[in-house]
């Protein structure tokens, strides 16, 4: 069989893991760098990667396009903070061609919001319609404590710019015992008034940080039970392709999501894989098994080799993650930081 014919056949074959799950969602970290140092995500003194190890924008476009050829319909750009990557808008503009062709349903990103004032209009023009913004509190002092370097006013300006540009906004808040566990009522009101969705997330045991996660872990079952004493939470079938399960807050009309990697496993319907900024493919956020796509990208211009490497990786996708908050060893379940894998 001629190589070009074999490559054509491979490109059209959907990616299906050993458990029959179709891989239709790719999350791509474009940088490990960030202008914040959130306490649950990074150590205060992070050692960032040398630029030679990070995929170029052209390499990122190539590997994303290969996944789209294999049936990925949703592409999320993450970091670190993706909008601190130099010339990042060029990558969004390039990937937007797959939206125009109909090969891709959605191009979106997760951001801390610090650069949205600058990029919101450009993102919309590139085809982005929906974004996730990480924001754990609306209190200035608490925001500074959690992010260690961020300014809440800057993020709020970015949210305003995103809304005015036509971007749909979902706020992601990590629930931290003793830090922001009293902030959720205000955030529900804030999001309801602006038409933003709000999703609460259990802290995930990835990477060594500067404190003990067991002290901060807050089960969302407890958060939900507490919220139900003040709000009417109605189950709804809304899904976005991710792991969140949503309710509607009757008093505001807004949607409230819960992501529970520890207290309620959501792996059965997992349709996603993650690519780091170094070209490392993780088939599961909570496992260490990985595939090196950077070497394939840089050693060969033949996409058949890239597709073969992707195929071999997907065949190793596990059934579920092994997340656990380990109160005995105090060690993270996975050594790498969330900022390395992609938020």
Please give the annotated binding residues for S-adenosyl-L-methionine, written as ranges: 40, 80, 134, 204
What residues contact 186, with CB distance under 8 A and at least 6 apart? 138
Which residues contribute to the annotated binding site? 27, 34, 38, 40-41, 76, 80, 110, 134, 170, 204, 267, 270, 272-274, 284
If one counts every other C-beta atom within 10 angstroms of the C-beta of residue 264, the result is 14
Strand ranges in the chain using DSSP code E only, listed in sequence order: 25-29, 74-78, 106-111, 130-134, 168-175, 197-202, 233-235, 245-249, 255-259, 272-275, 280-282, 290-292
As annotated, the binding site for GTP includes 27, 76, 110, 170, 272-274
Can you tell me the distance from the alpha carbon of 219 to that of 273, in angstroms, rounded to the nearest whole number?
25
How far apart (Å, rounded) are the C-alpha atoms in residues 205 and 324? Answer: 7
Compute the distance between CA of residue 339 and CA of residue 33 in angstroms, rounded to an integer. Answer: 8
In whole angstroms, give the CA distance from residue 144 to residue 159: 17
On the question of a cis peptide bond just before residue 80, with omega within 30 degrees of 0, the verdict is yes
Q: Do 64 and 26 touch, CB atoms closer than 8 A?
A: yes
Q: Which is it for the CA torsion 312, 315, 320, 326, positive or negative?
A: negative
Which residues are part of a known binding site for [4Fe-4S] cluster?
34, 38, 41, 267, 270, 284
Return d(Cα 26, Cα 13) in angstroms, integer: 16
Handedness of CA 343, 272, 260, 109 (dihedral sign): positive
What residues have CB less than 8 Å from 9, skipping those under 6 apart? none
| Residues 108 and 73: beta-carbon distance below 8 Å | no
Q: How far apart are alpha carbons 256 and 50 in whole angstroms?
A: 39
Q: Is the dihedral of CA 89, 111, 104, 316 positive or negative?
A: positive
Query: Contact at 8 Å (CB) between 336 and 127?
Result: no
């Amino acid at each position: 069989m001629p190589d070009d014919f074999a490559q054509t056949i491979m490109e059209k074959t959907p990616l299906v893991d050993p458990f029959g799950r179709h891989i239709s969602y790719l999350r791509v970290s474009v940088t490990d760098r960030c202008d914040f140092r959130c306490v649950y995500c990074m150590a205060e003194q992070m050692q960032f990667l040398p630029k030679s190890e990070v995929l170029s924008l052209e390499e990122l476009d190539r590997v994303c396009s290969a996944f789209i050829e294999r049936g990925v319909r949703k592409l999320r750009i993450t970091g670190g903070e993706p909008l601190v990557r130099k010339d990042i808008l060029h990558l969004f503009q390039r990937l937007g061609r797959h939206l125009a062709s109909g090969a891709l349903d959605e191009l979106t990103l997760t951001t801390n919001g610090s650069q949205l004032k600058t990029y919101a209009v450009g993102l919309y023009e590139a085809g982005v319609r929906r974004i996730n913004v990480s924001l754990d509190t609306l209190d200035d002092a608490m925001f500074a404590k959690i992010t260690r370097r961020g300014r809440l006013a800057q993020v709020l300006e970015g949210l305003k710019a995103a809304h005015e540009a036509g971007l749909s906004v979902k706020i992601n808040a990590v629930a931290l015992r003793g830090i922001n566990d009293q902030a959720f009522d205000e955030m529900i009101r804030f999001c309801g008034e602006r038409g933003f969705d709000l999703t609460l997330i259990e802290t995930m045991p990835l990477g060594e940080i500067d404190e003990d996660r067991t002290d901060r872990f807050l089960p969302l079952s407890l958060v939900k039970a507490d919220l139900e004493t003040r709000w009417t939470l109605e189950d709804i079938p809304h899904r976005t392709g991710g792991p969140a399960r949503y309710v509607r807050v009757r008093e505001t009309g807004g949607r409230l999501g819960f992501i529970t990697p520890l207290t309620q496993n959501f792996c059965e319907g997992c349709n996603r894989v993650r690519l780091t900024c170094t070209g490392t493919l993780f088939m599961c956020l909570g496992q260490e098994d990985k595939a090196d796509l950077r070497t394939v990208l840089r050693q060969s211009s033949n996409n058949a080799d890239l597709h073969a490497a992707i195929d071999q990786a997907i065949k190793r996708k596990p059934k579920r993650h092994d997340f656990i908050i380990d109160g005995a060893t105090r060690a993270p379940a996975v050594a790498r930081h969330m900022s390395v894998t992609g938020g």
